[in-house]
C-alpha cells in the first residue's frame, strides 16, 4: 500500500472518530456535575428517582431547598443520558413527570451547561441555570 493511500485512510479514520466524539454541546473531557434542587413553594417534598443506562441513583425525597447531585464523565462514543422520575403533591393532586436532565447527544436545554448542570424543580416545571448569564431559565413544563 502506498504511503499516500495509507495517510488518506488514517485521516479518514481520524475524521470518523472526531465526528463520533463530538456531542451536540461540544467536546468536553472533564467531569460534569449535575444538581437538582427542590424549590417547590409551600415547602412541598419532592420524590425523585434518577438513572442512566449504567447507574441507578435510587429513590430519594428532597425537602424544600434540598438538592441532590452527582458527577460523571461523558461517554462520547455511546452517549451519556440521565433521566429522572419526579413526583409531588400540589393542591390535592399528584404531579408526576419523567424528564431527561442530561444528554450529551441531544440538546435538551436552551443554553449548554459545561461543568455544572443545575436544575431547579418548581411548581410549573424545571428551570435550568444559565452559567453564562447567571440566571434561571424556564425549560421543561410539567
Q: In which residue are the cell numbers 431559565 written?
A: 137
| Listed range (18-27, 42-51, 107-116, 123-132) with the worst mean pLDDT | 18-27
- CA-closest candidate to residue 109, choices 90, 133, 89: 133
pLDDT > 90 in the chain, percent: 55
The pLDDT score that the predictor gives to residue 20 is 46
The confidence band for 4, taking pLDDT boundaries of 50, 70 and 90, is low
The confidence band for 14, taking pLDDT boundaries of 50, 70 and 90, is low
The pLDDT score that the predictor gives to residue 10 is 61
17-44: per-residue pLDDT in tens? Answer: 544 444 444 556 688 999 999 999 889 9
The pLDDT score that the predictor gives to residue 95 is 92
**118 neighbors 35 (Cβ within 8 angstroms):** yes
Amino acid at each position: 500500500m502506498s504511503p499516500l493511500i495509507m495517510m488518506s485512510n488514517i485521516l479518514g479514520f481520524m475524521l470518523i472518530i472526531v465526528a463520533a466524539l463530538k456531542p451536540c454541546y461540544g467536546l468536553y473531557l472533564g467531569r460534569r456535575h449535575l444538581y437538582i434542587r427542590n424549590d417547590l413553594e409551600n415547602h412541598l417534598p419532592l420524590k425523585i428517582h434518577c438513572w442512566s443506562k449504567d447507574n441507578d441513583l435510587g429513590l430519594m425525597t428532597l425537602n424544600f431547598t434540598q438538592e441532590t447531585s452527582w458527577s460523571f464523565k461523558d461517554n462520547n462514543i455511546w452517549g451519556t443520558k440521565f433521566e429522572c422520575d419526579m413526583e409531588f403533591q400540589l393542591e390535592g393532586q399528584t404531579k408526576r413527570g419523567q424528564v431527561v436532565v442530561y444528554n450529551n447527544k441531544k440538546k435538551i436545554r436552551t443554553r449548554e451547561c459545561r461543568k455544572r448542570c443545575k436544575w431547579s424543580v418548581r411548581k410549573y416545571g424545571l428551570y435550568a441555570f444559565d452559567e453564562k448569564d447567571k440566571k434561571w431559565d424556564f425549560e421543561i413544563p410539567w
